[in-house]
Chains A and B, each alone.
Chain A
Amino acid sequence: MKKIIKKHPLAIRWFHWINFPVLAVMIWSGLLIYWANDIYRLGWGDRTLVKFFPQSFYDTLHVPFKLSQGMAFHFFFMWLFFVNGFLYVAYTFVSGEWRYLLPNRHSFKEAWFVVLHDLHVRKTAQPQDKYNAAQRVAYSAIIVMGFGSLITGLAIYKPVQFGWLCALCGGYEFARIIHFALTIGYVLFFLVHIIQVVLAGWNNFQAMVTGFEVVKKDAIIEEVVEQKNDDNL
């Protein structure tokens, strides 16, 4: 006999796996749109460190001259992205899952220790609830980012009808910059997420499909004791 713990509710697994391809389509179609006026870069003065994006990158992904297609896809999938994201946030609040996800006052400091531990700079692991502090910060930040994409997206999409929103985002041009930067943020999040999932191993990954995680009994006791001690401190 083994012990299993229910980790991810069915609803959250759905939201997660719907969001993944929908966000991928949003990023791809956004790239088709961005290509038509690809003015962003990292650098100063005449010096450019990174150009968004090099021609070879566009050519590899068959980006050029698909602005109208990009817009058509973007303005269809935006609804799926919005509805799925909205339901996810609503669900986490109604179900109480938010307790595992929202950072508390210790999270930011602890998240830093988690990062140091993961980079093998610090030996001691942080006590882990369902999610560690770094996960709490990351998974909450990604929701704030998603909200930011919706707001800036609407500001660019209807800058006259939602003029107040556009002004709130720092104007049309700045809203477009934020919208772009957030997208780069998703890509970076995705890269770290994949690396972490690979490092965490099969048991962790399969929980996002099956919903449960297999736990060694003494591991549970150990964790619970550790957590209890932590609470008593």
Chain B
Amino acid sequence: MSSNYFDKKGSEVSSKEIRRRTVVSFSVFIVLLGVGFFAWSKLYNQPQSADNVQPFLRASLQANERIFSRLYSANKQTKSFKKTDAVARVRVNGDVGMDTAFDYAKWKLKVVRKPGDTLFISLAEIRALPKTEIVFDFKCVEGWSQVTHWGGVRFDEFMKKYNLAPEEAMKYVGMVTPDGQYYVGVDMPSMLQPQTLLCYEMNGKPLPLDQGYPLRLIIPVKYGIKHLKRIGVMSFSNDKPKDYWAEQGYDYYAGL
């Protein structure tokens, strides 16, 4: 066995030489240990910026966003399930932006094309558009997931019906609840993915209040934090719209 470790000749050295080599090696080792520890404490103790995360880590999240948005393909669809796989009791995980008094009867979706040019679209008008249903594994950033059943109009079809081609060329869509308390920004390629819905139904019935009646976003290529409930205003921009959870230290992209 030529590879046998003990067949290696080794070398004859004096005890003094062994001690010298040991001291040199351990000195280098301890210095590097110190460098590593120093780098870690610098990183760990870097003060958080206003968006509740250390600038270094925000830069790293953004670098990941650049890598994975380049790998992103709208052809990659979320796995669909049978309607019978969907749970009856859908988890309600957040009510930010939904605890303000709100007149449902008067609700219209505001679509801001540009400042001073706003479309007002009623629920009846949205319901009149072709309906798409999706049963998929809804994934929360916390780590749980649930197979749920939703219905609404595909966002890309909605954009076509309302002749929003110039808006489609923008980089981001921003959505805000009527009270302005909850807001998300989503990149356009993810919005135009064919499974993204402006959703008004859950389990074949109108959306419950706590699930975002009258209209919410369902976007299977994102974590639940982006699935804004009770959409009030929608706008388009090339800069990142402000995002509630990104301000709390989470990844802006949150893509799956």
**Chain A residues close to B by CB (< 8 Å):** 1-7, 17, 21, 25, 33-34, 36-37, 39, 67-69, 71-73, 75-76, 96, 99-100, 129-130, 158-161, 163, 167, 172-173, 176, 206, 209-212, 214-215, 220, 223-224, 227, 231
Contacts and interface: CB of A to CB of B under 8 A. Distances in A.
Contact of B60 (A25, A67, A72, A158): A72
B64 to A, nearest CB: 6
Nearest to A210: B25
A129 B60 CA distance: 43
A4 to B, nearest CB: 6
Nearest to A166: B79
A1 B36 CA distance: 36
B8 A6 contact: yes
Contacts of A161: 68, 71-73, 76, 255-256
Interface in B101-151: 137, 139-145
Contact of A2 (B6, B15, B78, B221): B15
Given A67-B141, A75-B64, A172-B145, A100 B10 contact: no
B53 interface: yes
A33 B77 contact: no
A5 B76 CA distance: 54
Given A36-B143, A75-B64, A99-B3, A5 B25 contact: no
Contact of A223 (B6, B26, B40, B77): B6
A163 B6 contact: no
Interface of A is mostly: helix
B29 to A, nearest CB: 5
Given A6-B8, A33-B143, A160 B256 contact: yes
Interface stretch (B164-172, B178-186, B231-239, B246-254): B246-254
A212 B249 contact: no
A89 to B, nearest CB: 18
Contacts of B40: 21, 25
B11 A71 contact: no
B220 interface: yes
12 contacts: A2-B12, A4-B18, A7-B5, A37-B144, A67-B142, A72-B60, A76-B60, A158-B71, A167-B79, A172-B137, A173-B145, A210-B21
Contact of A69 (B3, B140, B249): B249
Contacts, number: 131
Contacts of A206: 22, 25-26
Nearest to A180: B143
A68 B250 CA distance: 5
B21 A212 contact: yes
Nearest to A224: B6
A45 B26 CA distance: 53
A72 B11 contact: no
Contact of A160 (B6, B12, B78): B78
A45 B174 CA distance: 46
A129 B22 contact: no
Contacts of B64: 75
A73 B53 CA distance: 10
Nearest to B142: A36
Q: Which of the listed residues B15, B52, B79 has the most CB atoms from chain A within 10 Å of its own CB?
A: B79
B45 interface: no
Contact of A72 (B12, B14, B61, B142): B61
Interface in B75-114: 76-79
A224 B18 CA distance: 23
A215 B10 contact: yes
A222 to B, nearest CB: 9
Contacts of B143: 33-34, 36-37, 176
B57 interface: yes
Counting chain B CB atoms within 10 Å of each CB, the highest count among A7, A33, A161, A231 belongs to A161
